[in-house]
Amino acid sequence: MSDRQPSRGAPAGRRPGMAWREAPGDRPHWAARRGVPEGRPPGMAWRGVIGEFGSSLPEIDADAVVTLGEGGTPLLPAPALSELTGCQVHLKIEGMNPTGSFKDRGMTVAVSLAAARGARTVICASTGNTSASAAAYAARAGLDCVVLVPRGKIALGKLAQALVYGARLLQVDGNFDDCLELVRKLAISHPVAVVNSVNPDRLEGQKTAAFEVVDVLGDAPEVHCLPVGNAGNISAYWMGYREYLTAGRTSRAPRMLGFQAAGAAPLVTGQPVSSPVTIASAIRIGNPASWHLAEAARDESGGMFAAVTDGQILDAYRLLAVREGVFGEPASAAGVAGLLQASKNGDVDPGSLVVCTITGTGLKDPDTAMAGTPEPAVVPAETEAAAAALGLV
Ligand code: F0G
């Protein structure tokens, strides 16, 4: 982790890719921008979302902080997408968080506060990433974790994470919306703390991604594209941008563009979807909990919601990997598919400074990854056979 985000501050002359070690007396360039006190010891590692942005978050005692070092993720220029759209596109790589998705930003805050308030058990409904993150932070905090997921509908890697981190996992015969309903009901009558994004502490943590984007770009982007499922993340980003604007740390706020899968697009149609379907299992949600907050983000920012088909999502998923070297999960590709569509339709001006959040790593969903790739050839351990199979002769 030490050579992640801080490496952007490497002094001129340091070879690209060289591990970041601050010389004594060096101060990471992001430290001043974020108002990190001068007294911070040189070379101190990234402290996680609460350590870095605590003054903008609900108050949490230092000894109550549960962190896995989340946040500080790269903001990567995207040359291929920039060429295709005529915009200056950057990718916020949230798959580099400790459990491989943006959920960790909110979970550090939600679990720290739940534990500080005396919770023994946290509970969530999930399409996979929230459960992986909740399970990890609960393990770190010494809490029990219960997760409810739609049966057979979450990616293998996410299921593995929740189980290995030691969560008690129930597969519900129903969809995500049914799981969330169950969680809300269980929490009324049982001593469990809900760590879904209906818990406002989650959104507080997640807004820090907007802070990081601004800290790196020096201002807010003009357009921010996101995949939308339960609609917490787009609401959290908007909260973060608004707070930085109010604090005078940006000159503008971006238009928030939210993209849903065509088979699970309630915010686009304005109607809940009773049986949502899409290959992007993370955003297979028919009745988003943060519906109104997301609509406010759209309206206040002059943004829009739109739907993209599974075909567009898979094309963007492959383009990201093959042209940008970024392996995001299918849901993450929905935001990129949306940008390509919006740019084609004239909904994004050429030249715009655009950020797309890549919300989770592609490693979480090996089934979708392998389904789209040809079976690799098998050869004997012989040079000629390998060369022939590779078409080199
Ligand atoms: N991308 C990924 C990879 C996600 O896991 C999610 C949501 C989203 C986008 C959409 O974010 O819900 O805030 O609009 N995953 C939740 C979960 C629902 O249970 O892991 P949202």
Instruction: Calculate how far, in angstroms, residue 44's C-alpha sits from the geometric centre of ligand 1.
Output: 31
Tokens linked to 53:
């942005």
Atom of ligand 1 nearest to the CA of 206: 13
pLDDT for res 40: 54
Question: What average pLDDT does range 160-164 have in this prediction?
Answer: 98
More confident residue, 16 or 47: 47
- Token pair of 8, please? 């952007």
Token duo for residue 386: 């390998």
Alpha-helix residue ranges (DSSP H) falling in the chain: 29-33, 48-53, 79-85, 103-116, 129-141, 156-164, 176-189, 200-206, 208-217, 232-246, 266-269, 291-301, 310-324, 330-344, 366-371, 383-389
Model pTM greater than 0.85?
Answer: yes
End-to-end CA distance of the chain: 43
From 164, 157, 140, 143, select the one nearest 68 (Cα to Cα).
140
Q: Check residue 31 and give its pLDDT.
A: 57
Q: What is the largest CA-CA distance in the chain?
A: 70
Summarised one tens digit per residue, pLDDT across range 315-333 is 999 999 999 999 999 999 9
For 191-217, write each residue's pLDDT tens digit: 999 999 999 999 999 999 999 999 999
Taking CA atoms only, the protein residue closest to ligand 1 atom 4 is: 282
Q: Can you tell me which residue has the tokens 């129930």?
A: 170
Give the confidence band of 10 by pLDDT, cuts at 50, 70, 90: very low
Taking residues 3-27, what's their average pLDDT? 38
Please tell me if the CB atom of residue 360 comes closer than 6 angstroms to any atom of ligand 1: yes
pLDDT level of residue 372 (50, 70, 90 thresholds): confident
Residues β-bridged to residue 169: 147
Q: Considering only CA atoms, which of 326, 323, 270 is closest in space to residue 298? A: 270
Ligand 1 center–CA 230 separation, angstroms: 6
Q: Is 283 in the pocket of ligand 1 (CB under 6 A)?
A: yes
pLDDT at 348 over 60: yes
Residue with tokens 């770009």: 217
The amino acid that residue 95 corresponds to is G
d(CA 278, CA 185): 27
Phi first, then psi: what are they for 356, rounded to 5°? -115, 130
Which ligand 1 atom minimizes the distance to the CA of 236? 13
- Looking from the CA of residue 126, the nearest atom of ligand 1 is 19
Answer whether 250's CB lies under 8 Å from 220's CB.
yes
Among 62, 88, 379, which Cα is nearest to 221's?
88
Exposed, middle or buried, 41 (CB in 10 Å: 0-12/13-18/19+)? Answer: exposed
Whose C-alpha lies nearest to ligand 1, atom 6? 282
Structure tokens at 226: 């996101």
Q: Is the CB of 343 under 6 A from ligand 1?
A: no
Determine phi and psi for 220, rounding to 5 degrees: -75, 150
Residue of 97, 127, 196, 225 with the most ligand 1 atoms within 8 Å of its CB, for mutation = 127
